[in-house]
Structure 1
Amino acid sequence: MFLHGNLMAAARALLTLPRPSTPGLMLHLPETGDLLTLALGDPLGGGAVLDLATPLEAIHLHAGCRVDLRAALKPGLLHGAGNAARSWQARVDVSCSGLHRFEAVSDVGRDPEGRGYVQHHATSFVLRGSVAAEPETIGSAVEILPDRLAAGFVPGAVFSARLLARGRPVVGTAVHLERMMAEPVGDQVRPIRGHERSLWVIAETDRAGRFRVCLPTSGLWAITATGPFGWSGLRPVRHVTTLWLRFGNPSECLKNESEPVVTAEEFSASLRPLDAAAVAGHLSQRLSSEQRPHERTT
């Protein structure tokens, strides 16, 4: 009872937190998985899109093979909610069964929030076939690594992953999970019917760098966290990573506009008391049903 009360108090406290507004690196793949789009900013959440310089890294990993996609990337303009900026696209092949992993890294640049320098990392997984997969670390400066990926999605299912830096756990770090409200179609960002309202969750990593959350609905989710500071020459650099995952199929994502959204209090009240061994991994969460404001990028 005491533990359950603490979880409810933590969820209420999270209601006072502002939505994180750090622009990230978008790595988008449609349901067909044939067109990779890279962009900087927050175009899928209703925010601005920023110019993205030539990515330092863009790779496709599958069945032990590594394909460098930089030569296939073509520049273009991605038109967001209120502006357009340079993005990059490449045709990719995910027809083979198994787990496909895509990685991209931006150049080091000035942080739009005035925090010095930042480097963005992005990851996406595409699972073809019915066999579940357990991704392995590739030793990136920072990465979010799901414990297990499987076909199908049940609302309320637990999703767990680890935040790693060079393969080592990042402890006590906030992780921001958000269901996207739009997706790029060609060079235009289009709203997703039934997903017009913002829905997001905040978790924290435990001693193993792991976090666990219950995802209340299907859709395209962006999972973002900040790793340890690194260095680029004499400049300290903040490493930010975003994991892009699609849960459920298109028919599950296209719900009507009356789709219910769970509030933090309702979610906390539905949690059952947990045993002591599970406390470190099961995290207080925040879900917001309010329309989010556009972020300022200047």
Structure 2
Amino acid sequence: MTFLKKLGLATAALALSISSSSAHFVLAYTPEVNLERAGDVPLKLIFWHPFENGHVMDLAKPEAVYMMHKGKKIDLMDSLKPITFKGASNEAKAFDATAKIKRNGDYIIVVEPTPYYEGSEDIYIQQLTKSFLNKGGIPTGWEEPLGLATEIVPLNKPTNILAGSTFTGRVLAEGKPVAGAEIEIEYMAAEPNMETNSPKDPKASPMPGGAVVALSDENGYFSFGIPKAGFWGFAALGSGPKKEHEGKELSQDAVIWVRAYDVK
């Protein structure tokens, strides 16, 4: 079967989940991901339902926060500062962080959270999250896997996807493709206000039918048509190799955030 046929199957698998609510996602957010100058870039680390501006979960101090640039790992843990993020219906613990951007190229922000206990399901959730910055418009490795326990590797440049085009990713676990992974898809309808630690007004509302879901093909690939400018998140649920934490089930998810723009 050809690569294009495999992508067609993955795209055809796109469906609406029977889930009754929108998805929860770890965010590593900053408003502008394409940078012209060197400097300190502020980040918000939040565990939230950003499509519906819904419930915010407490984010414990992560196990690791760092960025990769041209193969070099730059630790960001010392920059973490606890904050309280106030959603529409509740507030929860979150973090500020700072990425010091110097040279041109791609910077991949990685958050490896402490597993979160979800009491309603009696499971732990750990979302290994990647987001992207670029300085100077020069590509230097956005498409390279990082060797995380599980991750989504983008096949489209993640900092300037065209709204109306297609995003393709590949789900990996310990470097190997994950077939049949369930990927929840989230639009950041309510972006965080960097000054007030609260959401801006939502730009869209969730569709009926619950979370939007795609499935990876036998080689781990999936595709999704990006209908609107803004930030889009993809979470491959339970794709990681670790399945248990403190005697309970663990969903170790791979999360990636990409940025889409309208053509002007």
TM-score, structure 1 length as denominator?
Answer: 0.71
Match of 2:58 in 1: 51
Structure in which a larger fraction of residues adopt strand: 2
Q: CA deviation at 1:225?
A: 1.4
Alignment of 1:61-72 (within 5 A): 61-72=68-79
Q: Distance in 2 between the 1:16 and 1:54 partners?
A: 31
Q: Which amino acid aligns with 1:30?
A: P
Q: Distance in 2 between the 1:243 and 1:15 partners?
A: 20
Tell me, what secondary structure is at the counterpart of 1:191?
coil
Match of 1:147 in 2: 155
Distance 1:45 1:94, change over 3 A: farther
Q: Which has the larger radius of gyration?
A: 1
Aligned residues with identical type, % of pairs: 27
Tell me, what secondary structure is at the counterpart of 1:93?
strand
Tell me, what secondary structure is at the counterpart of 1:216?
coil
1:158 aligns with 2:166: yes
Alignment of 1:46-195 (within 5 A): 46-94=53-101, 96-132=103-139, 133-149=141-157, 152-186=160-194, 187-192=197-202, 195=203
Q: CA deviation at 1:106?
A: 1.3
| 1:49-99 Cα shifts (integer Å, max 9, x gaps) | 111111111001112221111111000111111111111001223353211
Aligned residue pairs, count: 242
Runs of 5+ unmatched residues, structure 1: 253-298
Are the equivalent residues in 1 in contact too, given 2:122–2:248 (CA < 8 A)?
no
Are the equivalent residues in 2 in contact too, given 1:219–1:247 (CA < 8 A)?
yes
Alignment of 1:14-33 (within 5 A): 14-15=15-16, 17-18=18-19, 21-31=22-32
TM-score, structure 2 length as denominator?
Answer: 0.80
1:247 aligns with 2:248: no
Distance 1:206 1:115, change over 3 A: farther
Given candidates 36, 40, 46, the residue that maps to 1:39 is 46
Tell me, what secondary structure is at the counterpart of 1:47?
coil
Q: CA RMSD in A?
A: 2.9
Are the equivalent residues in 2 in contact too, given 1:131–1:151 (CA < 8 A)?
no
Q: CA deviation at 1:137?
A: 1.4
Are the equivalent residues in 2 in contact too, given 1:229–1:237 (CA < 8 A)?
no
Higher mean alpha-carbon deviation, 223-232 vs 72-81, is at 223-232
Structure in which a larger fraction of residues adopt helix: 1
Q: Which amino acid aligns with 1:135?
A: E
Are the equivalent residues in 1 in contact too, given 2:166–2:224 (CA < 8 A)?
yes
Q: Distance in 1 between the 2:258 and 2:159 partners?
A: 12
Distance 1:177 1:130, change over 3 A: same
| 1:81-121 Cα shifts (integer Å, max 9, x gaps) | 11111110012233532111001111123224414222222
Tell me, what secondary structure is at the counterpart of 1:208?
coil
Runs of 5+ unmatched residues, structure 2: 36-40
